[in-house]
Amino acid sequence: MDTQNRKMDKRGGQILIMFTLTLVPMFGLMGLVTDLGYMHFIKMSAQTAAQAAAMATIIDYKSSFGGASKSCTDTGVSCSSTPVTCTANITTPANSIEHGCMYAQNHGFNGTNQWVTYTAGISGTPPTASGMGTASYWVTFRVIQQVPQLFSAVLGNTSGMVASRSTAALTGASDCIYALNPNASGAVSVKGTAALTSACGIFVDSSSSSAITTTGTATLSATEYDVVGGVNTHSPLSPNPTLGVSPASDPLAGLPVPASAPYTCDHLNYSSADAKKDKYVLSPGVYCGGINVGNDSYTLSSGTYILVGGGLSTQSANSSITGNGVMFYNTFGSTNKGNQTYSPISIAANSAVSLKASNSGTYADILFFEDRSAPRSSDNYGGGSTAVYQGTIYAKNAAVTIFGNASVGVTNTILVADTISMVGTTAFNDDYSALPSGSPIQKIVIVE
């Protein structure tokens, strides 16, 4: 009996030892699971911080520069192909990147054993998304934290590393025609026998049930239709329009103004007599009272033309205006020749027109830029069957009509206006490959 008891005691002791030995890895595994769960929570927090930082940077960049073409050497633009660590404790961000860094810090990543880094670039493809194509600006934030291990430290795991990454970018918008009036019927209208063909989309802010209209035998074709209200067309649109979308803000609101009052006039009420002295070749400058082509042929040298009152006008089929690499800023206000009141753009239907914007600089692809504070006006863009407007027409307060004899050819063009009316045959092309940053109208995308 004693022998049997001793054997049982021996077995019991062995079981106790074995059980005790199994407790160590068991608690270690339980601790590992607990620590992994905690690290997963930290990783989710880090991912949120990285995404908030990337979005904050791109939103501020877009707000600051709009569709302007920038380089890495410009003030307020940060670029780096290798990771740069954010400055700690940012309270007043000095640029777009610091806005992003501050957002990451506000999400709790600003302490010991925590690192927030960024890489960013202009007119390139983010290394983290090689298939997305060229972005005008991109930024990647990485949020890293060293996490001390609690329970699993018994297995020798004293710390772990958590890292998350997010990339945001500015890329060309899918829409190229914007009507910003919030309630107009026929905010985009195609009339009579006219035709509008667009290789990109149309965005209409109007909440009217007839925000887009066609009449007669007019035709309208675009890659997409984004409409706050509804459409009223004599034949169905294809593809089907997307109705009830949220209104869009001015897509070029961040584009800097090229000049402001008071203006010093280089020319006053420029017309045929002045053009004759200049051998009908105009130079960039400040044209107070605008430019009136009359029954002449004007050639415009490349550069920026500031129209302070008077606008730009042609007279008839005998009027011809040609310019490559030009931009017109149509404004009004005080000058050294007196106050100038605003006048619209008025290019006659049968005039000969070939105007092309520059493909470089801050105003790449900007052809007409209307003063944002200008009163509501009616702008007419005419021309014969060979007319060309190559560049962006930005006239947010204007009722823009594009018309012509047989057709008006519009290539590489964006149109932003209060309302838009097409009379004639008009084509919009969305090939912006010649521009350093693609389309001047940019949208924000989260790449990852």
Give tens-digit pLDDT for 133-149. Answer: 788 899 999 999 987 76
Q: Which helix (H) or strand (E) holds 325?
A: none
Structure-block tokens of residue 387: 């007319």
pLDDT of residue 30: 53
pLDDT of residue 110: 87
More confident site: 326 or 388: 326
In which band, very low, low, confident or very high, does the pLDDT at 12 lie, cut at 50, 70 and 90?
low
β-pairing verdict for 159-172 and 135-148: antiparallel
Count Cα atoms within 13 angstroms, Cβ side, for 87: 10
Structure-block tokens of residue 91: 């309270």
Distance, CA of 387 to chain centre:
28
In which band, very low, low, confident or very high, does the pLDDT at 266 lie, cut at 50, 70 and 90?
very high
89: left (phi over 0), alpha (psi -120 to 50) or beta: left
pLDDT of residue 222: 94
What percentage of the chain reaches a pLDDT higher than 70? 87
Give tens-digit pLDDT for 163-196. Answer: 899 999 988 888 999 999 999 999 999 988 888 8
More confident site: 405 or 54: 54
Q: Quick check: 168 and 55 in contact, CB under 8 A? A: yes
Per-residue pLDDT, averaged over 279-296, amounts to: 96
Per-residue pLDDT, averaged over 383-408, amounts to: 83
| Arithmetic mean of pLDDT over the chain | 87
Distance, CA of 355 to chain centre:
24
Distance between CA atoms of residues 430 and 184, nearest Å: 26
More confident site: 220 or 161: 220
pLDDT exceeds cutoff 70 at 11: no
pLDDT of residue 434: 80
Q: Quick check: 139 and 57 in contact, CB under 8 A? A: yes
pLDDT exceeds cutoff 90 at 396: yes
pLDDT exceeds cutoff 50 at 406: no
pLDDT of residue 241: 96
Q: What is the CA radius of gyration of the chain?
A: 31
More confident site: 84 or 30: 84
Longest dimension (CA), the chain: 134
Give tens-digit pLDDT for 21-63. Answer: 555 555 555 555 555 566 677 789 889 999 999 999 999 998 8
More confident site: 220 or 154: 220
CB-based contacts of 336: which residues, under 8 Å, 6+ apart?
A: 262, 263, 264, 265
Cis peptide before 375 (omega within 30 of 0): no
Q: What angle do CA 424, 353, 409 make, to 5 degrees?
A: 40
What percentage of the chain reaches a pLDDT higher than 90? 59
3-state secondary structure of 37: helix
Distance, CA of 284 to chain centre:
28
Q: Quick check: 332 and 341 in contact, CB under 8 A? A: yes
More confident site: 109 or 35: 109
Q: Which of 144, 90, 84 is nearest to 112 (CA)?
A: 144
Q: Which of 415, 333, 339 is nearest to 379 (CA)?
A: 415
Per-residue pLDDT, averaged over 320-324, amounts to: 96
